[in-house]
Amino acid sequence: MLALVATLAVQALVSMAVLAPPVFAPAAAHAIGLPASVIGLYTSIIYAAACVASLASGRLIAAQGPMRLSQLCLVLCGLGSAAIATASAAGVALGAVLIGLGYGPITPSSSQILIRQTPPERRALIFSLKQTGVPLGGMLAGALVPPILVAAGWQAAALAVAMGCVGVAVAVQPLRAGLDRAGGDAPAPTGRVFDSVRLVLGSPAMRWLTLASFTYAAAQLCFGTFLVTFVEAEAGRDVVGAGIVLAAAQTAGVVARPVWGWIGDRFMAPRRLLGLLGLAMGGATALVGLFDTGWPLAAMIAVAVVHGATAIGWNGLFIAEIARLAPPGLAGMATGGSLFVTFLGIVLSPPLFTLLIETTGSYRVPFWGIAAAAAAGGVLCLAGGRRRRTGLSG
């Protein structure tokens, strides 16, 4: 329980560091002299840096210990938030890099700790509960940043996030030694940069899950990024109605994460469940692409709930399964290699989605493309699982 509470707190604060700047972006952009749309570039920089950091996770865990590394990541996120508060374009860019470098190793580090602390019959549930730290960080950003912004300005909000990150790093210090020991002695990887990616792609059991995560991440991010604009532009709803649809999806995702973990522990093999989630995700995304002025708001909300439960709810189950399949002592390294591919889906999908919008003049084709990719990811999970059971996966 201490391991879960500590890793959940760390996850929530680094996620808050990632998600707070979009909340104060309009005020910050005006002060810095940049368009508010630059927040899209900020997000891409964060996840590009997270890709790089995830590659190094295995070596860093072996060198520092998973909890010490988590503390260092919190400090990096705090420094990044403070850099953004300098109110300069260079500070924002530096802050995005630092936050991304801090964000990348957090999940591999927690996997290294939790895989040894969690009984196998509760693994998917515990990992899914830990991953609720991501939406929890978004909730903290949405609840705490606006009041600080109104009372003291956006720079004070950025500095408050920085202090929160450093504060949690200090708060978990009494648990640090015990949780580092609980994480075990991770074998030191070789000096080759892509060893963690080779580890997951070289294992048939992990390969298909990892490739599916690329498509799932793309479905998750593109829905969150483009839904409100799409619903306003092509479904005839105002920003309030569009926001309700998005909020319904986010709420469903938060609730679904531990539910899928519980089901994966008790009733269905996680790989099979992940495959079925991909198929449902693809179907829900295809329906999103059909939204138009003839759709009642209630019907849009119903589709959004299914989309959120699948496209936002899959992460914890996926990470638990990768940690389970990893060689002994290499859960953190395997998670880092998997997340490199997952983060690539986040980095590459918005520009491709935008290119399709510009090419076709509509949001529908891009949503249907994402739907096909997510469904293909589901097929990869299911087909990979069948190959493994029949001995044909190598």
Give pLDDT, residue 42.
79
Give pLDDT, residue 277.
93
What the block records as the tokens of 213 is: 């995560």
Domains 2-182 and 195-390 share a fold: yes
Give pLDDT, residue 392.
34
Amino acid at 117: Q
Q: What is the pTM of this model?
A: 0.76
Give pLDDT, residue 38.
66
Give pLDDT, residue 189.
53
Give pLDDT, residue 39.
64
Q: Over its length of 394 residues, how does the chain's per-residue pLDDT go in tens digits?
A: 788 888 888 988 998 898 888 777 778 877 887 765 566 677 788 888 988 888 888 788 888 888 899 999 999 999 999 999 998 889 989 999 999 999 988 888 888 888 777 777 777 778 777 877 777 787 787 778 888 888 888 899 999 999 999 999 999 898 888 777 765 555 555 556 677 788 888 888 888 888 889 999 888 888 877 777 788 777 777 767 777 887 788 788 888 888 888 888 888 888 889 899 999 999 999 999 888 888 888 998 999 899 989 988 888 888 888 888 888 777 778 888 888 888 888 888 878 887 888 788 888 888 999 999 999 999 988 886 554 443 333 3
Q: What superfamily does domain 2-182 belong to in CATH?
A: MFS general substrate transporter like domains (1.20.1250.20)
Supply φ then ψ for residue 240, to 5 degrees.
-65, -50
Amino acid at 76: L
CA 313 – CA 260 distance, rounded (Å): 7
CA 218 – CA 347 distance, rounded (Å): 9
CA 374 – CA 155 distance, rounded (Å): 39
Please, are residues 141 and 150 in contact by the beta-carbon 8 Å criterion? no
- CA torsion sign for 311, 312, 317, 323 is positive
- Domain formed by 195-390, architecture: Up-down Bundle (1.20)
Please, are residues 143 and 136 in contact by the beta-carbon 8 Å criterion? no
Domain ranges of the chain: 2-182, 195-390
Give pLDDT, residue 306.
93
